[in-house]
Structure 1
Amino acid sequence: MSDDLHRPLIGVTVGRDVPDRPSFLRLTESYVRVLTTSGAIPVVIVTGTDSAAIRHLVERVDGLLLPGGVDAPDPHPRHFGEEARPETVIDKDLDALEITAIAHANSLGMPMLGVCRGCQILNVALGGSLVQHLEPGDLNHLQDLPLDTETHDLRLEAGSRLAALSGGTLLRVNSLHHQAIARTAPVLRAVGTSQDGVVEAVESTDPDRWTVGVQYHPEELLHQPAHRRLFDDFVASCARYAAARHTERNTAP
């Protein structure tokens, strides 16, 4: 991580394990583990928090992580002008939380990382759309193998942040999703595509902004250095953001 001694605070959005019903909140432990071992302090931002409070919390953290997980709900297609398909499972409260958090973090230039559903909601919140359901094909995007197993290749765009972190333009990844990016948000660009043409990684069009979305689950593949480096780089970027903000506050008249 960064040489800065400040341990960045990273907001992590958390929803219910049963969408749109009073239930338990759910966050896969692997996200907490990788953030802490990379030098960050996770701070959960939960559904049910009002918009003003969400913005208040975002202003007090140094980065935003939008996680995914097994059986995570889908972003509501009304956000990109479509009706829900039968396969689409929706959590309106989680959508409201994450869309508000993304909009405010983006306005602040804060580092953001979206994983699986997090990649999808990041794209939607910034003006993109989704394929609501991937029909079965040669590549199984809902793998049967354990999630710590890489099952297919991802072609990365040369010169992208992900290619630099991966050490090349070919990356082995896992896959556990039935939706995917259709139209990329105007402020994002597709930088990773599976062999069947599905977009599985996006980055900010502005190289000075650390905004990355990945459709796969790198938090379950930390035995591979490329996936570990993604989180290390994210946390380092959050530390730089925190240091710059601290400098601004101390030099303000």
Structure 2
Amino acid sequence: MSDVVRRPLIAVTLGRDLPDRPSVFRLADSFVQALASSGAIPIALMPGTDGAAIRQVVERVDGLFLPSGVDPHPRHFGEEVHPRTVIDEDLDALEMNAIASATDLGMPILGVCRGCQILNVALGGSLVQHLEPGGPVDHLPDLPLKSEVHDVRIAADSRLARLSEARLLRVNSLHHQAVARPAPALRVVATAQDGIVEAVEARDPDRWIVGVQYHPEELMDQQAHRNLFDDFVSSCGRFAAARQSPEGTE
């Protein structure tokens, strides 16, 4: 028997490079590096796959990661398309199917930026389609993602507070949409100074489901942000082990 420790397999959803190159899939390397450096093996999950095939893939991995990208279609929460909304309907279908399968299985899920938004939408929440500029916080600054631009206040009893070891966290920002009404299964655990939602978690403390609006993958040199990825990957490893144990087999 091999002594090599099995690294968790984590499905990562890929969207199209809209609007300039719709035939090209895109994924920032920083997401791959963050997951890999925390001990995971990222596996690409691409649009155009039917629901049954998505379920088949999700059943074979140990976690689901939802990265940044363009905007979810507002019809999923009963609104018309805002003029500033950019949509990838194939990605919506992919991620909503993947989220449904992952939640059915009790699998860990981490969403970043759009990933936080589509997680909330898929579970029954809604979004602010466009944050108008000029408020107390600039959520779409013309700055590199390595730049910390505003604080987020974190709920003391949250998973994020434990992992960050902080109640106030300095973060980067690159978004024009945000969570409006949280999904019934999620609770808001971090907000910016202007009240914009910056993080959500599963209401059930036994479920590892987290969505963050900022980009921790670009701040992995800071332990508070690295801890989020490390804990996600560790949780995926525990999920895999539980499925492989005699009690976890059917």
TM-score (norm 1): 0.94
CA contact (8 A) 1:62 1:111 kept: yes
1:236 paired residue among 211, 234, 237: 234
State the number of aligned residues. Answer: 246
* Match 2:102 to one of 92, 105, 118: 105
**C-alpha separation in 1, matches of 2:20 and 2:147:** 31
Q: State the distance in 2 between where 1:29 and 1:176 align.
A: 16
2:200 aligned residue (202, 209, 229): 202
In structure 1, the residue matched to 2:73 is 76
Q: Which amino acid aligns with 2:48?
A: G
- Judge conservation of contact 1:143–1:174 (CA < 8 Å) in 2: no
1:15 aligned partner: 15
- In 2, the alpha carbon distance for the partners of 1:102 and 1:249 equals 25
Q: Which moved more, 1:124-133 or 1:32-41?
A: 32-41
Residue of structure 2 in register with 1:246 after alignment: 244
Map 1:150-161; keep pairs closer than 5 Å. Answer: 150-161=148-159
Residues 124-177 of structure 1, C-alpha deviation per residue, up to 9 Å, x if partnerless?
Answer: 000000000011112110022210111100000001000001112111101100
Match of 1:171?
Answer: 169
2:126 corresponding residue in structure 1: 129
Deviation of 1:214 (Å): 0.1
| 1:91 alignment partner AA | D
- Once the 2 structures are TM-superposed, how far is the Cα of residue 18 of structure 1 from its aligned partner? 2.0
Q: Which amino acid aligns with 1:66?
A: L
Q: Indicate if the aligned counterparts of 2:243 and 2:249 stay in contact, CA closer than 8 A.
A: no
Q: Which of 103, 115, 118 matches 1:118?
A: 115
* Equivalent position amino acid for 2:116 in 1: C
Partners of 2:248 and 2:166 lie apart in 1 by 40
CA shift, 1:249, in A, is 7.0
* Residue aligning to 2:53: 53
1:181 is aligned to 2:179: yes
CA distance in 2, matches of 1:29, 1:15: 14
Answer yes or no: is the 8 Å Cα contact 1:126–1:186 preserved in 2. Answer: yes
Counterpart Cα distance in 1 of 2:168 and 2:248: 44
SS at match of 2:61: coil
Judged with a 3 Å threshold, the aligned counterparts in structure 2 of structure 1 residues 74 and 251 are, in CA distance, closer, same or farther, namely closer
Quote the Cα distance in structure 2 between the aligned partners of 1:210 and 1:97.
21
What residue is the counterpart of 1:139 in the other structure? Answer: 137
Q: Distance in 1 between matches of 2:123 and 2:147?
A: 31
The aligned residue for residue 218 of structure 2 is 220
User: Aligned letter for 1:220?
Assistant: E
Give the whole-Å Cα distance in 2 for the aligned partners of 1:6 and 1:242. 9
Do 2:201 and 2:210's aligned partners in 1 also have CA atoms closer than 8 Å?
yes
Alpha-carbon contact 2:136-2:193 (below 8 Å) kept: no
Shift of 1:5: 2.8
Structure-2 change in CA distance of 1:142 and 1:20 (3 Å) = closer
How far apart are residue 28 of structure 1 and its match?
A: 0.4
Whether the aligned pair in 1 keeps the contact of 2:242 and 2:248 (CA below 8 Å) is no
Q: Which amino acid aligns with 2:6?
A: H
- Residues 89-127 of structure 1, C-alpha deviations (whole Å, 9 max, x = no match): 111000000000001100110000000000000000000
CA contact (8 A) 1:20 1:93 kept: no
TM superposition score normalised by structure 2: 0.95
Whole-angstrom distance in 2 between the partners of 1:132 and 1:158: 29
Q: Tell me, which stretches of 5 or more residues in structure 2 are unaligned? A: none
1:193 lines up with 2:191 in the alignment = yes
Identity %: 70
Cα distance in 2 for residues equivalent to 1:202 and 1:157: 10
